[in-house]
Every structure is written in structure tokens, then in C-alpha cells.
């Protein structure tokens, strides 16, 4: 009998807690939906444009500045942003874009982490009548699925890096061994920076790419890659890959380059006669250039915000936007007058 009562008490308690849990869950969902609705209504009442923006993450100082630039320009243009940080995962970007569609934003902008896998979600956006702008990176998809691309000219960045190298080695006749550190695999920017670079160096057979390593655009990877080169060669008179002297490092971004410099410094490796070329032009890499640790830094301009907002407004008026809009970019080299450099701001 006693046992039976205890069992009934236990079941009643379990039912009570289950009901409580259900109630809390219900309250949480309704509150959340209401707050979305309020946000929507507020923006609509204010006649504000709503931009859904999916960023890939914050892997570099470049990326952080890119996000800041977009937020600053949105505020200046009175455009409301619904932001999602994909933490370097394409699946998170797909989810974010789908949520922007459900939310019925006016325009969607996103930085495609990789080139492939966007057709379905962009078809959904098109069917919902929401125009899409690609920011910073391009995709492999039917061009009718997006309104246009805004960002850097990666091909030209690769060519600029190679042109510097050609000029620097113009009097050299022996083979020039190049070690490449590339960024995120299957991203358009990596494809373009590699392609543009090869296009120019292939005009002279003395240039040889001895290895290409994926550093995922991360400082930690650049550091690790250099550490592996140093510890496996057991030498401090330069960088070596499988017994071959590395004459040139071509690094696809500053984060990886700065990571490599960390290891070079930690192990006390002599790299004065190693040509190091980087891309982005963060303040820290410009400082390394002026300190003689780098030879060339190709700019990749992260300040895309003002141009993006101009395109968003143009689309909202029902106008077409250019298929491709490039941000102006330059090159910084060891031959410059450093006193003319302005602070980079990232
Ligand atoms: O897509 C642009 C690249 O992504 C930048 O060069 C790099 O720093 C960033 O992570």
C-alpha cells in the first residue's frame, strides 16, 4: 500500500514538472516571436530597409574590420541589419539565409565561405522575391540567382603579388623556390589569388612553386606551418621544405603571415634573404613591412560597408545593380616611402 502511494506521488510530481516545463517553453517561444514581430513592425513603421547579413566569422583582423564597416555604413544610411555570424560553417550560413527569407527582409547579403552549395537556398530567396548580394567572395551558381557581387579582385591581387616578385628577382638566373600558404579551401578568393599569381610567374620558368599548404586564413595555422618547417629541417639559416631552400613565401593573408613571423621569431630563424609576400594590409603587417620583416603587402580592402549600402538602396528602388563591383586596392612594398602611409584602421 505504502509503495503504491509513493508511486502515485512520484507520477504526480513528474506530470507537474513536465507541465511546468511545457509552460515555460511555450512562454519562451511566444516571447521570442513577439520580439521578432515588434522589431519588424518598428523597422517597418520607421520605413527602414531591412538587410539580412550573414558573415562567415571573425578569423582575422581583416574580417572584423569588414563587419564593422558594414555596421557603421548601415547606421549612417539608416538601414536595419539582421546579422548572423556563421562561425566558419556553411551550414550556419544556409540556416541564416533561410531565416532571413522567413523574416522577409528587403535584401540579403552574405559572404560565401566556399564557392559551391548555394543553388537551393538562393532559389528559395529568388522565389520569395528577395534580392541577394554576394559580398567579398564569389560562388559557382547560376548568375540569375543573385543580383551582383561586391568585393575584391582576387585575380588582380594574385597578379600584383607576382608582379612584385618578378621585379624583385629580375636579375636572378637560378631557380626561385616558392612556398605558398593558402586560405580556406574551396573559397573563391583562394582560387583567384592562386590563379592570378600563377598566371604571372608562369611567364618565367625560373619560378617554381615547391609546395602549397592550406593555412585556412588563420594566424594559429601560419604559426604551426612555420614551426613544422623549422623543426623538421633543424636549421636556422632560413626556411626549408623537404630539404629545399624556400626563397619566397607567398601567403594569402596577413593573419597566416603574422603567425609565421611569430614562429620565425620564437625559433630565431634568419629570414632576411627570404622574400615574404602577404595579402590584406592590416596595420600589423604594414608595421612588419616597415620593420623589414616583409617585402610586399598586397592590399585587400575590407571597407565594403558604404558601397554595400549604396547597392542595397539601389536594389530597394527596383534598379539593377552592376554584376560586379570591385573595391579600389593598392600594393605596399619595401621600396615605398613609409612616411606617406596613413594608419590602416584594422
Ligand atoms: O575573403 C577575404 C579574406 O578572408 C581575407 O584576405 C582574409 O584575411 C579573410 O579571412
Taking residues 36-50, report their average pLDDT.
58
Q: What integer pLDDT is reported at residue 47 of this predicted model?
A: 79
58 vs 67: CA distance, rounded Å: 8
Of 13-22, 179-188, 206-215, 316-325, the poorest mean pLDDT is in 13-22
> Computed from CA positions of residues 288, 292, 294, 300, in that sequence, does the dihedral angle turn out positive or negative?
positive
Report CA(252)–ligand 1 centroid distance (Å). 8
Q: Do 183 and 217 form a contact (C-beta atoms < 8 A)?
A: yes
Q: What integer pLDDT is reported at residue 14 of this predicted model?
A: 53
Q: What integer pLDDT is reported at residue 38 of this predicted model?
A: 40
Q: Taking the CA of residue 3 as centre, how many other CA atoms within 13 Å lie in the half-sphere pointing to its CB?
A: 0
Indicate whether residue 63 lines ligand 1 (CB < 6 A): yes
Report CA(280)–ligand 1 centroid distance (Å). 7
| Helices 61-76, 305-316: crossing angle, 10 deg rounding | 40
Report CA(217)–ligand 1 centroid distance (Å). 7
Q: Which atom of ligand 1 is nearest to the CA of 254?
A: 8
Residue for grid cell 599569381: 197
Indicate whether residue 282 lines ligand 1 (CB < 6 A): no
C-alpha cell, 307: 558601397
Report CA(61)–ligand 1 centroid distance (Å). 9
Report CA(286)–ligand 1 centroid distance (Å). 16
Q: What is the pLDDT of residues 226-272, one digit of tens each?
A: 999 999 999 999 999 999 999 999 999 999 999 999 999 999 999 99
Indicate whether residue 59 lines ligand 1 (CB < 6 A): yes
Indicate whether residue 300 lines ligand 1 (CB < 6 A): yes
How many Å separate Cα 79 from the centre of its chain?
23
- Ligand 1 pocket: which of 157, 183, 185 to mutate (most atoms within 8 A of CB): 183
Indicate whether residue 65 lines ligand 1 (CB < 6 A): no
Indicate whether residue 197 lines ligand 1 (CB < 6 A): no
Indicate whether residue 297 lines ligand 1 (CB < 6 A): no
Report CA(74)–ligand 1 centroid distance (Å). 21
Whether the pLDDT of residue 32 is over 70: the answer is: no
Q: Which atom of ligand 1 is nearest to the CA of 59?
A: 10
Indicate whether residue 192 lines ligand 1 (CB < 6 A): no
Q: Do 179 and 228 form a contact (C-beta atoms < 8 A)?
A: no
Indicate whether residue 136 lines ligand 1 (CB < 6 A): yes
Indicate whether residue 193 lines ligand 1 (CB < 6 A): no
Q: Give the Cα-Cα-Cα angle 63, 67, 72 (nearest 5 degrees).
A: 145
Report CA(212)–ligand 1 centroid distance (Å). 17
Please give the full DSSP string across 151-184, using - where no structure is assigned.
Answer: E--HHHHHHHHHHHHHHHTTT--S-EEEEEEE-S
C-alpha cell, 10: 512520484
Indicate whether residue 280 lines ligand 1 (CB < 6 A): yes
Q: Taking the CA of residue 202 as centre, how many other CA atoms within 13 Å lie in the half-sphere pointing to its CB?
A: 8
Three-state DSSP class for residue 288: helix
Q: What is the pLDDT of residues 57-67, one digit of tens each?
A: 999 999 999 99
Whether the pLDDT of residue 137 is over 70: the answer is: yes
199 vs 218: CA distance, rounded Å: 25
Q: Do 119 and 145 form a contact (C-beta atoms < 8 A)?
A: yes
Provide, rounded to the nearest whole percent, the portion of the chain with pLDDT above 70.
87
137 vs 193: CA distance, rounded Å: 12
Q: Which atom of ligand 1 is nearest to the CA of 280?
A: 6
Own/partner pairs, 19-23, CB within 8 angstroms, 24+ separation: none
Nearest partner of 142 among 119, 125, 126, judged by Cα:
119
Q: Where are the alpha helices (DSSP H) in the chain?
A: 2-45, 61-76, 90-103, 119-127, 154-168, 188-201, 219-233, 254-266, 283-290, 305-316
138 vs 51: CA distance, rounded Å: 19
pTM: 0.86
Amino acid at each position: 500500500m505504502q509503495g503504491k502511494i509513493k508511486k502515485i506521488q512520484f507520477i504526480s510530481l513528474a506530470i507537474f514538472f513536465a507541465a511546468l516545463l511545457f509552460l515555460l517553453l511555450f512562454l519562451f517561444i511566444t516571447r521570442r516571436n513577439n520580439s521578432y514581430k515588434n522589431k519588424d513592425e518598428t523597422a517597418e513603421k520607421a520605413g527602414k530597409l531591412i538587410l539580412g547579413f550573414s558573415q562567415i566569422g571573425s578569423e582575422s583582423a581583416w574580417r572584423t574590420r569588414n563587419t564593422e564597416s558594414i555596421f557603421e555604413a548601415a547606421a549612417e544610411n539608416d538601414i536595419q541589419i539582421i546579422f548572423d555570424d556563421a562561425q566558419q560553417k556553411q551550414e550556419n550560413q544556409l540556416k541564416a539565409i533561410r531565416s532571413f527569407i522567413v523574416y522577409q527582409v528587403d535584401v540579403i547579403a552574405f559572404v560565401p565561405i566556399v564557392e559551391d552549395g548555394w543553388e537551393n537556398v538562393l532559389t528559395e530567396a529568388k522565389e520569395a522575391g528577395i534580392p541577394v548580394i554576394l559580398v567579398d567572395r564569389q560562388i559557382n551558381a547560376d548568375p540569375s540567382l543573385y543580383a551582383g557581387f561586391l568585393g575584391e579582385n582576387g585575380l588582380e591581387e594574385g597578379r600584383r603579388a607576382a608582379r612584385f616578385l618578378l621585379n624583385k628577382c629580375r636579375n636572378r638566373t637560378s631557380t626561385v623556390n616558392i612556398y605558398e600558404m593558402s586560405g580556406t579551401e574551396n573559397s573563391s578568393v583562394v582560387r583567384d589569388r592562386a590563379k592570378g599569381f600563377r598566371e604571372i610567374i608562369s611567364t618565367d620558368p625560373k619560378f617554381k612553386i615547391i609546395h602549397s599548404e592550406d593555412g585556412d586564413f588563420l594566424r594559429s595555422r601560419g604559426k604551426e606551418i612555420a614551426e613544422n618547417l623549422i623543426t623538421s629541417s633543424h636549421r636556422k639559416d632560413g626556411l626549408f621544405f623537404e630539404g629545399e631552400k624556400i626563397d619566397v613565401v607567398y601567403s594569402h593573408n596577413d593573419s597566416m603571415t603574422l603567425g609565421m613571423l611569430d614562429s620565425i621569431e620564437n625559433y630565431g630563424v634568419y629570414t632576411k634573404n627570404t622574400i615574404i609576400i602577404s595579402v590584406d594590409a592590416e596595420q600589423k603587417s604594414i608595421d612588419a613591412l616597415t620593420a623589414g620583416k616583409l617585402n610586399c603587402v598586397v592590399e585587400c580592402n575590407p571597407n565594403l560597408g558604404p558601397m554595400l549600402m549604396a547597392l542595397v538602396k539601389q536594389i530597394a528602388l527596383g534598379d539593377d545593380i552592376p554584376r560586379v563591383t570591385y573595391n579600389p586596392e593598392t600594393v605596399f612594398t619595401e621600396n615605398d616611402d613609409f612616411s606617406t602611409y596613413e594608419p590602416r584602421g584594422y
